[in-house]
């Protein structure tokens, strides 16, 4: 009945786990690593912050996406291919096929966890249309290779053909893991074989302008055991960075073809491309035992988090090329912070968490989930942010209900985009979300993310464990883990303590003790009915930026647990303009609860209206004595809910008085 010390740092090596179909599948299944992922039937979300969002994804977003894919003709492209109506009938951008594949992946996970027969029928109907368009040699792309279209692989910089295969294969992997043998899995295998034929040793020594094929091929190797797929992924990772793609306006760093993966120090260029490639490189490193490559990507992750990541966890500071900026160039008002980059960041952090067992990776996943993934969709799951700005200066116009918006409008969530990668990326993430909550190793179970959930896990030696996690986190900080079933011998329940949770405690076996940030382990001979209670102090706190982040100098943000808060114009007292507020740092933070998170009331001074002439003035000697402005109470609410009440201006970083 020992309650172990909190042990920051890494955990023990976990043995791999093979069969997934009975466990509902999981989105990344490395052959080795410190931690073992769990399946979508091993971890089940119940109603709560994330359970509700997953349910909205199931009941609203999937149908919404399917509707728009039909409406925009991106699904119809496959029918047109079969009917010989291409290129004339082709609709959408060059990568439109991939949105269909990402929907299929989302459906596969969703079916894996629920077994919903209606969803399965819809899935099979789409797969039939896709499969019919595959060519005898395994090639499948509605935008290339036919008379009147560009030749296959004639535009590797921008054509997205291998990227497209990557998402097709990921969908196949999801189906294989969540269900088993299936026509989509066959399509994916044929596609992978074709890719290996064309780009294998002795073939085209090239890479794709958009990484994605790399993690997909390793995942397919994990599913099929076919080593050729792993070798091909390794080839793609090794080839990149030597200038194999043409130089472009944004430079080769845009698609990470400037520096070999194992030599780079930090993620750079297009943020989605960068995170997908890094995820694939981790997969290759783990499966080939390439410690140097794994160390390189881990180092890049650390540098990127330390110098190129927003408070929200968002990545990508530049609109022009959807890219990382230089170190500490993190403007809140022109933050790109693409939703898909957050998905890519989670893919990467999850793989590193499994490989290293280091809590920092789960910390970033939590931050990204609560402040980008939860931010992007509307409450009803039918509108989406493509970019996730941290500061909205002007009231935006409502995007049209009935048309795809032409670009990454950040002012309000839109139902669809002409480049609509984000809605489908959210869908596959929400459908597989439960997989990111917990892991297992030979010694027990690790809880990384806190949400109302049920766990049914078999520990080695066929020792079933059943846990119920009860919490309304992040509204409050209490997480109660109830043991419903346990083997008789001791095992370890490990809980993550976020870095902001100074003063956290864990209570087990009637003993309460401090739990320092990192891991807290509870090793016990658990009995059915007993509980382990983690108390995380989620009270509001002021956060200040590294002084090298010039764009938010002199500002603070307010966070509450894992949730970043923001001020929105719709909540301001009459007459108070958002850009005139100056937070009193010592004014106190009064917390209250709203909805499923929290609200915090802060005291602000309301600055005067500066003169509207030349906006730079000579500093008066000795400094100007300014009249003390009046104070107002300003409610701050969760950033993830901003713009839910119509157009507003918004800021996370508040200038101080």
Which of 97, 104, 131 shows the shortest CA–CA distance to 119?
Answer: 104
Which structure tokens are listed for 41?
């039937």
**Neighbouring-strand partners of residue 438:** 447
Residue 516 touches a second copy, criterion: CB under 8 A: no
Residue 521 binding a second copy, by CB under 8 A: no
Both tokens of 553, joined, read: 């100098």
Question: CB of 545: closest distance to a second copy in angstroms?
Answer: 6
Output the CA–CA distances (angstroms, integers) from residue 614 to 476, 561, 567, 610, 617, in the order listed: 48, 42, 28, 10, 8
Residue from 51, 87, 487, 607 in contact with a second copy (CB under 8 A): 607
3-state secondary structure 619-653: CCCCCCCCCCCCEEEEEEEEHHHCCCCCCCCEECC
The phi and psi torsions of 466 (rounded to 5 degrees) equal -130, 125
Give phi and psi for 91, each to the nearest 5.
-125, 150
In whole angstroms, what is the distance from residue 210 CA to residue 255 CA? 6
* 169 versus 412: smaller Cβ distance to a second copy: 412
324 to 343, contacts with a second copy by CB under 8 A? 325-329, 331-334
CB of 249 to a second copy, least distance (A): 5
Q: Is 158 in the site for a second copy (CB under 8 A)?
A: no
Residues 526-555 that bind a second copy (CB under 8 A): 541-555
Of residues 278-307, which lie at the interface with a second copy (CB under 8 A)? 303, 305-307
Which region among 71-79, 101-109, 314-322, 435-443 touches a second copy (by CB under 8 A)?
A: 314-322
- For residue 579, state whether it binds a second copy (rule: CB under 8 A): yes
Under the binding rule (CB under 8 A), the answer on residue 556 touching a second copy is yes
- 270 and 340 Cβ atoms separated by less than 8 Å: no
Smallest gap from Cβ 219 to a second copy, in A, equals 30
Going by C-beta distance under 8 Å and a sequence separation of 6 or more, which residues neighbour residue 434?
Answer: 40, 43, 44, 45, 54, 113, 453
- Asked if 407 is part of the footprint of a second copy (rule: CB under 8 A), the reply reads yes
Give yes or no for residue 247 binding a second copy (CB under 8 A). Answer: yes
Helix 96-114 to helix 421-431 angle, to the nearest 10 degrees? 20
- Closest CB 203 distance from a second copy, rounded Å: 30
For a second copy, the closer CB: 158 or 328: 328
Residue 432-461 contact track with a second copy, rule CB under 8 A, x = bound: ------------------------------
# chain residues binding a second copy, by CB under 8 A: 62
Q: Is 398 in the site for a second copy (CB under 8 A)?
A: no
Helices (H), 247-338: 271-288, 291-307
Token pair of 341 as six digits: 């980059």
Cα(502)–Cα(537) distance, integer angstroms = 7
CA 512, CA 528: separation in Å to the nearest integer? 19
Least separation in angstroms between CB 541 and a second copy: 5
Report if residue 576 touches a second copy, rule: CB under 8 A: no
Stretch that binds a second copy, among 242-250, 438-446, 450-458, 514-522 (CB under 8 A): 242-250
Asked whether position 250 contacts a second copy by CB under 8 A, the answer is yes
Residue 111 is given by DSSP the state H
Rg for the chain, CA atoms, rounded: 25
- Output 115 or 539, the one with its CB closest to a second copy: 539
Does 500 bind a second copy (CB under 8 A)? Our answer is yes
Helix (H, G, I), strand (E, B) or coil at 29: coil
Task: Give the footprint of a second copy on this chain (CB under 8 A).
Answer: 247-250, 303, 305-307, 309, 311, 318-320, 325-329, 331-334, 391, 393-394, 406-407, 499-500, 502, 541-557, 579, 585, 607, 610, 612-619, 623, 653, 655
């Amino acid at each position: 009945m020992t309650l172990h010390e909190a042990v920051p740092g890494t955990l023990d090596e976990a043995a791999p786990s093979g069969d997934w179909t009975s466990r509902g599948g999981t989105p990344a299944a490395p052959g080795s690593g410190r931690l073992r992922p769990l399946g979508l039937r091993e971890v089940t979300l119940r109603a709560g912050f994330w359970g509700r969002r997953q349910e909205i994804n199931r009941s609203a977003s999937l149908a919404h996406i399917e509707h728009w894919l039909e409406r925009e003709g991106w699904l119809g492209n496959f029918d047109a291919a079969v009917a010989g109506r291409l290129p004339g009938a082709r609709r959408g951008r060059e990568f439109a096929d991939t949105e269909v594949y990402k929907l299929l992946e989302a459906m596969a996970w969703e079916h894996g966890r629920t077994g919903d027969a209606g969803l399965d029928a819809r899935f099979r109907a789409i797969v039939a249309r896709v499969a019919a368009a595959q060519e005898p040699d395994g090639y499948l792309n509605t935008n290339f290779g036919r008379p009147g279209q560009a030749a296959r692989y004639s535009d590797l910089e921008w054509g997205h053909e291998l990227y497209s295969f990557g998402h097709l294969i990921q969908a196949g992997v999801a189906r294989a893991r969540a269900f088993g043998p299936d026509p989509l899995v066959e399509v994916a295998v044929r596609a992978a074989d074709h890719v290996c034929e064309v780009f294998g040793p002795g073939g085209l020594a090239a890479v794709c302008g958009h990484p994605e094929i790399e993690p997909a091929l390793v995942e397919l190797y994990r599913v099929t055991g076919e080593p050729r797929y792993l070798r091909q992924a390794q080839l793609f990772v090794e080839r990149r960075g030597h200038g194999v793609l043409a130089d472009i306006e944004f430079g080769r760093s845009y698609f990470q073809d400037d520096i070999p993966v194992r030599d780079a120090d930090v993620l750079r260029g297009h943020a989605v491309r960068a995170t997908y490639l890094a995820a694939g490189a981790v997969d290759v490193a783990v499966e080939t035992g390439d410690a140097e490559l794994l160390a390189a990507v881990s180092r890049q992750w650390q540098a990127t988090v330390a110098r190129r990541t927003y408070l929200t966890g968002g990545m990508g500071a530049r609109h022009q090329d959807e890219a990382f900026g230089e170190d500490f160039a993190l403007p809140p008002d022109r933050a790109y912070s693409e939703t898909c980059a957050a998905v890519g960041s989670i893919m990467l952090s999850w793989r590193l968490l499994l490989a290293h067992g280091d809590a920092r990776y789960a910390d970033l996943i939590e931050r990204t989930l609560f402040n980008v993934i939860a931010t992007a969709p509307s409450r009803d799951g039918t509108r989406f942010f493509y970019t996730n700005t941290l500061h909205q200066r002007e009231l935006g116009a409502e995007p049209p209900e009935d048309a795809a918006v032409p670009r990454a409008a950040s002012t309000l969530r839109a139902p669809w985009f002409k480049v609509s990668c984000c809605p489908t990326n959210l869908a596959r993430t929400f459908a597989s979300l439960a997989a990111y909550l917990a892991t297992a190793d030979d010694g027990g179970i690790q809880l990384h993310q806190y949400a109302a959930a049920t766990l049914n896990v078999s520990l080695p030696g066929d020792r079933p464990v059943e846990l119920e996690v009860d919490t309304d986190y992040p509204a409050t900080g209490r997480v109660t883990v109830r043991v419903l079933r346990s083997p008789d011998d001791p095992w370890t329940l490990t809980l993550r303590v976020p870095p902001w949770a100074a003063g956290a405690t864990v209570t087990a076996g009637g003993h309460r003790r401090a739990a320092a940030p990192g891991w807290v382990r509870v090793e016990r001979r658990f009995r059915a009915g007993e509980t382990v209670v983690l108390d995380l102090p989620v009270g509001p706190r002021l956060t200040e930026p590294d002084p090298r982040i010039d764009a938010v100098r002199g500002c603070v943000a307010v966070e509450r647990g894992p949730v970043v808060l923001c001020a929105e114009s719709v909540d301001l007292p009459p007459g108070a303009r958002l850009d005139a507020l100056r937070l009193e740092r010592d004014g106190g933070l009064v917390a209250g609860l709203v909805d499923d998170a929290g609200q915090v009331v802060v005291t602000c001074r309301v600055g005067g209206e500066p003169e509207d002439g030349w906006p730079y003035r000579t500093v008066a000697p000795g400094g100007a004595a300014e009249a003390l402005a009046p104070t107002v109470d300003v409610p701050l609410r969760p950033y993830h809910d901003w713009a839910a009440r119509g157009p507003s201006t918004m800021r996370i970083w508040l200038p101080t008085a």
